[in-house]
Structure 1
């Protein structure tokens, strides 16, 4: 490990924070497609800004298909180490104590949408590469930082990039957790459409609902009574950290014993089979394996349809389990008159833990942090599923969970600085002659 890196990071920290603050100000939430902006003006603005910054740092830059930007140190456009992050963010939502699109510093902690997921870490990689260049290092292999603009909405940016550019020979995305992530679970989102004329008795279901988080506030009316459920937001890959307003609403309706019998039966099914059963126990989905642990199940959306009700269900299944197995088991547990369809699927991914590059990253992590470097699996979904030869590496340290996609998204300055050090040391270790 190079002992000069830590003090250099500290010396230039305020300049980095200023650049990060400028990027946080870009409201890069996916919007309507526009000319030269397939994912909306905000994500495209973020790409333009990072390309501008990279050019100012003295690196080669480009924007590919208006979908991904790159900042490159070296001349080889095909044989390169790739570091792939994203500048798009999920919507801010409500309930913030600081302005979501301003970088706020308070007692050593940074707040702002994207400070963890993923602007902070990928900008730390960029600034870290700048510092290495300024220190006089010359990598024996090209390093290309790739900045995406659609990771949060389906990764449609990656195919657009690969239409024109070669994939990395190896690399990582700073968008998961430490240590090195050698496997990511499969993800499948279902819509359960129930034909239920009795649902007409239910008023509009009001509240923010999206596939990335547990709903935290829902309300409706039934038989002249208002029902309002207050939960606690958490990512759908960590539902146990939250309180699901959808299932809480179902509990209230069941307890009130109001409305048509068929509607009561439907909400009773939700309570019995879904409420607080984060591992799919109520759906015959209690599946697990040694690599990734237990399946995770989250109901995340309930809406009225012309025929009845639609329930959105997010499932993250172990790496050794197939989507077909999950679907078959779920099919056998559905309420009456319910049809199932897949809305989204992301197959799991596995890497060989003995691969030399994985061992190199593990050694860097262990040396910088003093923590156990044994590779792990994750419940999250990253660019590792769609960009060839990429795995997740950081930024969250062991024990840190459920911070992204919530109000008051945060990361401590110490942790972000340590990330920059890890990524700088990793660049050196993976590109030495």
Structure 2
């Protein structure tokens, strides 16, 4: 039996892999609905990145398919069974606070800085090169591989809904997504966003004209801004300064010509699946404002944001907390805040990652007891997903990981949602290693270069073990 040194094979391809990765990272593939049209379902950026990826695959001799710029794939090998690999080319908005240009990749101290370096262009390229090694060495395989890349993983998965509806192929039999961490993610919590709706009226001596914070439901809002007026305390700025100092947040304060005051509080962004890793600028701002003399819906809005949602990462205060022995605890991210006194419908978007044993309707029933107009659910909810340890897919992937790293493999359940859950027998696998610094969805996102090369070798052996 021949043994292949996959690490040595990756070594030979380091420069090529980096060049291909850079060509993807240089594309700003944020979703942009303002530029969306028939040919660019999520805006031009994601399409450009998809086309670039398929161009790389074509160059390497794979047959490719682009499904109306929603998603695309290439295939390799022959056989009855098919392994699906699911990655994505879209990225969350770069946001502020970067030390370098997020779309001009830079290597510093062995780290590759760029939006998408760790989520998910870096891991995608590592996995792509894993398969490329198998192809270039001409290793014998008995199954097919379909490598799929999407363009809307970070928003609503509209890419995959469309892809499976229009591609004209049955789903792969089993597979993985290189979009999380090693040793494996074989369980994912359910994921739903629930919206609290409020009227825009003010009734107190202080008025809330506007309150806004948050870019995406799956990101902790880094900052939030409010515009207020009315009978404000004379020492408002001093109160704000001591609040900011006590809570270790930054702020700006600006008096407008018309007697209105604009206040911004700046915290720290993080992935919505780990809200405790961020500092939610919007709930901190609401906490500061809530005791001023507001009344009516404006007061309800600030009270809920600043009292109930403040640091309530597991929904304890809210009354929706739930824990499952295998899947862990529910988590909640208050992700997007929009209030305008002129609007009839103002919202707070709450993103829940929930384990088995609770569901969106149960959560909604509790939310409806709050002083809100109504509660609505996102159309795209995902149920909890789990592939058991004894499944050959999970067992094989863990064996390869253990063999290559010398570390012990174990199962993991996360709150994040990956394309692994698209298949009944689907998991997430890499590319981050234990002890990694998680910078996904944050400013100065980076991937450790050596880790990406290590991951490529693991992917090469893992794919080969699954299809040989």
Q: TM-score, normalised by structure 2?
A: 0.86
The residue aligned with 1:101 is 103
The residue aligned with 2:20 is 19
Q: Does residue 1:316 correspond to 2:320, yes or no?
A: no
Equivalent residue in structure 2 for 1:330, among 367, 377, 387: 367
Contact 2:214 2:220 in 1 (8 A): no
Contact 1:168 1:389 in 2 (8 A): no
Contact 2:338 2:347 in 1 (8 A): yes
Q: Does residue 1:189 correspond to 2:193, yes or no?
A: yes
Alignment of 1:153-302 (within 5 A): 153-162=155-164, 163=166, 164-195=168-199, 197-198=201-202, 201-223=207-229, 224-255=260-291, 257-260=292-295, 263-264=298-299, 266-302=301-337
Distance 1:288 1:254 in 2: 31
Distance 2:410 2:213 in 1: 41
Q: What's the offset of the Cα at 1:177?
A: 2.0
Q: Does residue 1:63 correspond to 2:66, yes or no?
A: yes
Q: In structure 2, list runs of 5 or more residues that go unmatched.
A: 230-259
The residue aligned with 1:382 is 418
The change in CA–CA distance for 1:130 and 1:283 in structure 2 (over 3 A counts) is same
- Cα deviation digits, residues 301-352 of structure 1 (max 9, x gap): 22125236421111111133222222223333x1x24311112422221222
Contact 1:247 1:271 in 2 (8 A): yes
Distance 2:337 2:37 in 1: 30
Q: Does residue 1:148 correspond to 2:183, yes or no?
A: no
The change in CA–CA distance for 1:75 and 1:40 in structure 2 (over 3 A counts) is farther
Contact 2:288 2:306 in 1 (8 A): no
Equivalent residue in structure 2 for 1:307, among 330, 337, 344: 344
Distance 1:232 1:25 in 2: 25
The change in CA–CA distance for 1:150 and 1:264 in structure 2 (over 3 A counts) is closer
Q: What's the offset of the Cα at 1:388?
A: 4.9
Distance 1:70 1:246 in 2: 40
- Cα deviation digits, residues 372-392 of structure 1 (max 9, x gap): 211111111111333454221
Q: What's the offset of the Cα at 1:283?
A: 1.0
Q: What's the offset of the Cα at 1:139?
A: 1.8
The change in CA–CA distance for 1:353 and 1:330 in structure 2 (over 3 A counts) is farther
The residue aligned with 1:363 is 399
Distance 1:66 1:225 in 2: 45
Distance 1:207 1:288 in 2: 29
Q: In structure 1, list runs of 5 or more residues that go unmatched.
A: none
The residue aligned with 2:7 is 6
Distance 1:208 1:286 in 2: 23
Equivalent residue in structure 1 for 2:47, among 30, 34, 44: 44
The change in CA–CA distance for 1:366 and 1:267 in structure 2 (over 3 A counts) is same
The change in CA–CA distance for 1:204 and 1:194 in structure 2 (over 3 A counts) is closer
Q: What's the offset of the Cα at 1:261?
A: 7.0
Q: What's the offset of the Cα at 1:417?
A: 1.0
Contact 1:279 1:297 in 2 (8 A): yes
Distance 1:29 1:265 in 2: 34
Distance 1:422 1:67 in 2: 29
- Cα deviation digits, residues 259-304 of structure 1 (max 9, x gap): 4476445423333211112111101122111112111011112212
CA RMSD between the two structures: 2.1
Contact 2:220 2:275 in 1 (8 A): yes
Q: TM-score, normalised by structure 1?
A: 0.93
Alignment of 1:351-430 (within 5 A): 351-400=387-436, 402-430=438-466
Q: What's the offset of the Cα at 1:49?
A: 1.3
Distance 2:6 2:422 in 1: 32
Distance 2:270 2:372 in 1: 31
SS at structure 2 position matched to 1:90: coil
